[in-house]
């Protein structure tokens, strides 16, 4: 982590918008924008940030249109109602479904694209996928230092202090006191983890299907990984699969994990300790 | 008459007392080897603790939890080291056998059993307490957590149970209640216990993490022990069996219940001088082949030609089920052998003077030793002890050997006095005889004793009382 | 001769133990060097004033914490101290905790080491292990740019820490 003074010298700029039932924040160091825009013009950076935010918003809107079960007219809703068969679904839908099935295999069922009532629910994988796509859109616009936060799932590139190599410091919310932070984790910078996703059993209680009939062991699981889909899916899977899945995940993937048990006790891999 | 002096006492040559002792060099080297082994034993224990010290282990003592854990780690290291040393002691390694003898090696092996087990138990308990204190758990919960959460730990728990089983069945009191075969089968579990103990040492023990020299040291120790066991207890016996191609030539009745088994084979010249030492024999006949019999040679091997073709002889008393069948062995039966083992041979000599004391079937290795061990006429005394003349097995042969070589021979027969602890017959004991009465030079002699354990102990006590030093005493257990 | 064995065994064992102990002391020294190096970093990290209580005010003060840092640094000679706890062995490896004290209050708690990374047994190196809340970096000392939490709905966002951060950066 960087001393505050250095960070204080770098002004961060943020844009937020709502999509997919949550709020998405794009945070960019002002200096990074300055170099990409016309030098010396004060408003250039702001306009570039607006344009970038709009591009990100379009990515999320498109994903929401196709995959939201909250929109009656989405492809996902029509699939859920049986009006559409997977065979006839769009290539994007079929790809995400295939991804979700392969994650189900890799997590030995702890992550599943189907709700217990049999309805296809790709929301567990779509948000991560959309964040990843939005990141690609930012990169393609030549922005190399940014932090994208979609409802608590974070993907970063570069550094909050462009060129410094400093990591983005991502706080992890305390599920027992949402106004407090539990820990902080350095994303990007010198490390190889750019994504941090947190899943919980508190909010949207039916968001994660638990494997087996036991109660949920973990109140909240945060996973840091190289890519956001892995982080998001594994966080979901560990909440659902409990200790067994936690060990499978830490053994099988290059990730860091911070777990809050329902009793409030913490479990963490070494990456969350220093 | 129950005490017989059978040869006229030969002239003791005055000059021989002052002559150079031909065994002093051999004796010095053997004592040096014994000291080196002693040093190696303690150094290996110190080494196990040093592994932990070198890892900065002392830092653990700054907290109560750390102290428990640190002691637990040290106990585990020392315990495992003792287990490896025990395996080496039982591996029949020639260096150990030539230095302290098979008997004393096994005696030491038995003595280490309980300390090793206590250390391993302490390891488990102290670690559970230490980790538990560090994590706010009671030791039992911590033990359960270790079992469930930490890979390979369940194997370590199994290992501990096996170690307990092995040590408990080897306690003298317990061992007597079960047949030898039961004890032997349980003792084989030692290998399972060691193998199940290994994974957690290398996967969980931070001390032996990959990339540390400690890991290599420990691996080398374990592999060397395993290799020694395989080589000396499996490979060598197979080689010896194929080299010597032994077959039973004839079985001769020596006395009621006592037979001599003569075997012919090849390469027996290589075994010259092993008269008195013992081998572990397996007679490859139906119902007998699986039963190992430890018997001493009752005569030095005889070879007829340069190829070492010749004969071996053991003399066996019918003591148990196994030995009973031996009397009925058919000529031509193939024989597998392991050995020779033990220090009941010239290799143990330290003085020019020698006193050999045998009782019952324990007379037979004395017979072989008398045949081959070097001494000047007049420098050897042989004392045979039995209830009656007929129990002084091979007495005729021994008499003629004594006459040929110039040894003094005593036959001590008759029963023990009641309630007195002595190795002598009643009349001799009452007359106040002692070992020194039979050989006044005993204090400067090698004393070889072979016979039943309690009897042998009182001979040894008598010898010590006659100021015979410990390294002059050579004793073979002859319980079988 | 027995004496010779006893003396040589004692000398050899003592030599081995002393050699082991000496190299152990060496390790302890180097790890405390690491600890003091870590102290510098942790100390400067600890200067940030609290973002933890989650109100917009505290977040805003975090944004302008430059002054706070220099103030704390100036007083550091007396008021700031970092203390490394002892290394505690757990089934997951050795753990050492460091605290930073400012003006008599504990402002920062960090785990200096779970184990030395390369000395840790590989098989369980990345297992999630239990730890106490004070063993992770506490919120008031963490100066963060983004916040990860279980899915925040649009409604919940308004009261979230992320909203406060975003508002500060608008």
Contact A168, A159 (CB under 8 A): yes
Residue C134 has pLDDT above 80, yes or no: no
What's the gap in Å between the CA of A237 and the closest CA on chain C? 13
Of C129, C143, C161, the CB nearest to A267: C129
Contact B476, B344 (CB under 8 A): yes
Q: Tens place of pLDDT for every residue, chain B, 480 residues?
A: 455 555 545 554 444 444 578 888 888 898 899 999 999 999 999 999 999 898 877 877 877 888 898 899 999 999 999 999 999 999 999 999 989 888 889 889 999 999 999 999 999 999 899 888 876 778 888 888 778 777 788 899 999 999 999 998 888 778 888 887 788 888 889 999 999 999 888 877 777 877 778 889 999 999 999 999 999 999 999 999 999 999 999 998 888 888 999 999 998 888 877 778 889 999 998 878 888 888 888 888 888 877 778 898 998 887 666 667 788 888 999 999 998 888 888 888 999 999 999 998 889 899 999 988 989 988 999 999 988 888 888 888 999 999 889 898 999 988 888 878 889 998 888 888 889 888 988 999 999 999 888 899 999 999 999 999 988 999 876 554
Of C9, C23, C87, the CB nearest to B59: C87
Q: What angle do CA A181, A182, A188 make, to 5 degrees?
A: 85
Residue A271 has pLDDT above 70, yes or no: yes
Contact C54 A23 (CB under 8 A): no
**Any chain B CB within 8 A of the CB of C151?**
no
Of C24, C91, C93, the CB nearest to B55: C24
What letter does residue A120 receive in the DSSP assignment?
Answer: B
Mean pLDDT score, A186-202: 84
- Nearest in space to A187 (alpha carbons), one of A203, A207, A166, A173: A166
Residue C167 has pLDDT above 90, yes or no: no
Q: Which of A169, A270, A271, A272 to mutate to test the interface with C (most CBs of C within 10 A)?
A: A270
Contact B283, B289 (CB under 8 A): yes
Q: Could you tell me where the DSSP H helices lie in A141-255?
A: 228-252
C-alpha distance from residue A98 to each of A60, A91, A92, A134 (Å): 20, 10, 10, 21
B353: part of which helix (H) or strand (E)? strand B353-359
Mean pLDDT score, C3-25: 90
Contact C145 A182 (CB under 8 A): no
CA distance B38 to B85: 12
Only one residue has tokens 């690491």, namely: C34
Mean pLDDT score, A83-98: 81
CA distance A154 to A199: 12
* Most trustworthy range by pLDDT among A149-158, A237-246, C97-106: A149-158
Q: Which of C65, C94, C146 to mutate to test the interface with A (most CBs of A within 10 A)?
A: C146
Of A151, A160, A268, the CB nearest to C145: A160
Q: Which of B31, B50, B77 to mutate to test the interface with C (most CBs of C within 10 A)?
A: B50
Band (pLDDT 50/70/90 cuts) for residue A43 is low
CA distance C124 to C120: 8
Residue A192, φ and ψ in degrees, nearest 5 = -115, 15
Mean pLDDT score, A128-140: 92
**Any chain B CB within 8 A of the CB of C35?**
no
Q: Which of B360-364, B459-463, C102-106, C128-132 bottoms out in mean pLDDT, i.e. has the lowest?
A: C102-106
Query: How many residue contacts between A and C have a Cβ separation below 8 Å?
Result: 228
Of A181, A256, A266, the CB nearest to C139: A181
Enumerate residues 305 to 334 of chain B having a beta carbon within 8 A of any beta carbon in chain C. Answer: none
Q: Given a contact as 3+ CB pairs under 8 Å, which chains touch A? A: C
- C2-167 is classed CATH 3.40.50.800: no
**Token pair recorded at residue C41:** 């970093």
Only one residue has tokens 């087996």, namely: A212
Mean pLDDT score, A98-118: 79
Mean pLDDT score, C35-46: 35
Q: What's the whole-number average pLDDT of chain A? A: 80
* ipTM topping 0.95: no
| Closest residue of chain A to C67, computed from CA coordinates | A5
**Any chain C CB within 8 A of the CB of B199?**
no
- Nearest in space to B343 (alpha carbons), one of B141, B94, B161, B100: B100
Contact B66 C90 (CB under 8 A): no
* Chain A environment of C127 (Cβ under 8 Å): 247, 250-251, 269
Contact C4 B52 (CB under 8 A): no
**Any chain A CB within 8 A of the CB of C76?**
no
Instruction: State the distance between the two ends of chain B, measured CA to CA, in whole angstroms.
Output: 30
Band (pLDDT 50/70/90 cuts) for residue C58 is very low
* Most trustworthy range by pLDDT among A186-190, A191-195, C40-44: A191-195
Tell me, what's the pLDDT at C51?
A: 30
**Token pair recorded at residue C123:** 């098989």
Tell me, what's the pLDDT at C101?
A: 60
Tell me, what's the pLDDT at A179?
A: 74
Tell me, what's the pLDDT at A102?
A: 81
Tell me, what's the pLDDT at A26?
A: 93
Tell me, what's the pLDDT at C96?
A: 58
Mean pLDDT score, A144-171: 89
Residue A7 has pLDDT above 60, yes or no: no
CA distance B138 to B224: 39
Residue A51 has pLDDT above 70, yes or no: yes
Query: What percent of chain B shows pLDDT beyond 90?
Result: 40
* Chain A environment of C128 (Cβ under 8 Å): 246-247, 250, 257-259, 267-269
């Amino acid at each position: 982590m960087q001393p505050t003074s250095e960070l204080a010298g770098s002004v961060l700029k943020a844009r937020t918008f709502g999509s997919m039932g949550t709020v998405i924040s794009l945070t960019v160091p002002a200096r990074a924008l300055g170099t990409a825009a016309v030098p010396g013009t004060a408003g250039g950076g702001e306009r570039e940030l607006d344009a970038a935010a709009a591009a990100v918003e379009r990515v999320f809107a498109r994903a929401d249109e196709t995959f939201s079960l909250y929109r009656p007219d989405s492809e996902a809703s029509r699939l859920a109602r049986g009006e559409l068969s997977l065979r006839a679904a769009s290539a994007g839908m079929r790809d995400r479904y295939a991804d979700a099935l392969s994650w189900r295999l890799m997590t030995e069922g702890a992550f599943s694209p189907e709700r217990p009532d049999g309805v296809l629910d790709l929301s567990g994988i779509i948000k991560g996928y959309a964040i990843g796509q939005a990141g690609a859109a930012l990169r393609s616009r030549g922005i190399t230092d940014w932090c994208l936060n979609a409802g608590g799932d974070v993907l970063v590139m570069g550094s909050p202090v462009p060129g410094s190599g400093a990591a983005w410091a991502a706080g992890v919310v305390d599920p027992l006191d949402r106004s407090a932070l539990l820990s902080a984790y350095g994303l990007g910078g010198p490390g190889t983890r750019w994504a941090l996703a947190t899943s919980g059993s508190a909010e949207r209680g039916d968001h994660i299907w638990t494997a087996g009939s036991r109660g949920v062991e973990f109140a909240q699981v945060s996973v840091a990984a190289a890519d956001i889909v892995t982080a998001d899916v594994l966080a979901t899977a560990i909440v659902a699969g409990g200790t067994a899945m936690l060990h499978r995940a830490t053994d099988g993937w290059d990730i860091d994990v911070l777990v809050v048990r329902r009793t409030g006790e913490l479990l963490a891999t070494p990456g969350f300790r220093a | 008459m129950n005490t017989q002096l059978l040869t006229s006492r030969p002239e003791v040559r005055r000059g021989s007392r002052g002559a150079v002792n031909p065994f002093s060099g051999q004796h010095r080297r053997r004592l040096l080897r014994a000291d080196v082994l002693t040093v190696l034993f303690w150094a290996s224990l110190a080494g196990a603790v040093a592994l932990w010290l070198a890892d900065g282990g002392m830092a653990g003592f700054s907290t109560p939890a750390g102290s428990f854990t640190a002691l637990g780690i040290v106990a585990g290291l020392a315990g495992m080291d003792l287990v490896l040393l025990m395996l080496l002691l039982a591996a029949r390694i020639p260096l150990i056998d030539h230095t302290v003898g098979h008997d004393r090696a096994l005696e030491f092996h038995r003595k280490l059993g309980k300390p090793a087990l206590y250390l391993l138990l302490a390891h488990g308990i102290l670690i559970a307490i230490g980790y538990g204190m560090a994590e706010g758990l009671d030791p039992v919960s911590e033990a359960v957590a270790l079992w469930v959460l930490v890979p390979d730990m369940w194997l370590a728990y199994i290992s501990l149970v096996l170690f307990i089983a092995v040590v408990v069945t080897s306690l003298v009191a317990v061992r007597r209640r079960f047949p030898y075969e039961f004890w032997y089968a349980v003792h084989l579990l030692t290998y399972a216990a060691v193998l199940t103990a290994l994974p957690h040492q290398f996967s969980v023990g931070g001390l032996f993490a990959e990339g540390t020299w400690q890991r290599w040291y420990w691996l080398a120790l374990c592999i060397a022990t395993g290799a020694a066991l395989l080589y000396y207890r499996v490979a060598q016996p197979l080689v010896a069996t194929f080299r010597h191609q032994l077959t039973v030539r004839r079985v001769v009745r020596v006395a009621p219940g006592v037979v001599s088994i003569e075997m012919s084979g090849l390469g027996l010249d290589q075994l010259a001088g092993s008269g008195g030492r013992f081998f572990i024999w397996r007679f490859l006949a139906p119902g007998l082949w699986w039963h190992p019999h430890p018997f001493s040679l009752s005569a030095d091997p005889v070879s007829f030609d340069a190829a070492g073709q010749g004969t071996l002889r053991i003399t066996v008393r019918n003591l148990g089920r196994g030995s009973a069948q031996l009397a009925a062995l058919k000529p031509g039966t193939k024989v597998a052998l392991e050995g020779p083992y033990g220090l009941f041979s010239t290799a143990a000599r330290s003085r020019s003077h020698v006193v050999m004391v045998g009782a019952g079937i324990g007379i037979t290795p004395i017979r072989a030793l008398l045949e081959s061990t070097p001494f000047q006429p007049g420098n050897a005394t042989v004392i045979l002890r039995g209830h009656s003349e007929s129990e002084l097995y091979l007495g005729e042969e021994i008499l003629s050997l004594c006459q040929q070589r110039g040894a003094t021979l005593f036959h001590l027969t008759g029963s023990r006095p009641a309630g007195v602890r002595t190795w002598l017959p009643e009349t001799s004991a009452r007359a106040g005889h002692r070992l020194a009465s039979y050989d006044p030079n005993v204090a400067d002699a090698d004393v070889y004793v072979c016979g039943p354990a309690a009897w042998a102990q009182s001979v040894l006590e008598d010898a010590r009382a006659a100021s015979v030093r410990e390294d002059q005493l050579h004793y073979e257990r002859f319980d079988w | 001769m027995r004496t010779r064995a006893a003396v040589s065994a004692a000398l050899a064992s003592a030599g081995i133990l002393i050699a082991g102990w000496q190299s152990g002391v060496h390790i302890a020294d180097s790890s405390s060097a690491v600890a003091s190096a870590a102290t510098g970093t942790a100390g400067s990290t600890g200067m940030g004033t609290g973002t933890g209580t989650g109100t917009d005010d505290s977040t805003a003060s975090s944004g302008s914490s430059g002054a706070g840092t220099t103030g704390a640094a100036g007083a550091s000679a007396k008021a700031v101290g970092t203390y490394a706890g002892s290394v505690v062995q757990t089934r997951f490896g050795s753990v050492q905790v460091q605290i930073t004290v400012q003006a008599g209050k504990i402002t920062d708690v960090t785990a200096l080491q779970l184990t030395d990374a390369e000395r840790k047994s590989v098989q369980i190196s990345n297992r999630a292990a239990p730890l106490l809340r004070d063993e992770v970096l506490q919120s008031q000392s963490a100066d963060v740019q983004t916040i990860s939490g279980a899915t925040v709905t649009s409604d919940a966002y308004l009261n979230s820490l992320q909203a406060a951060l975003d508002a500060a950066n608008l």
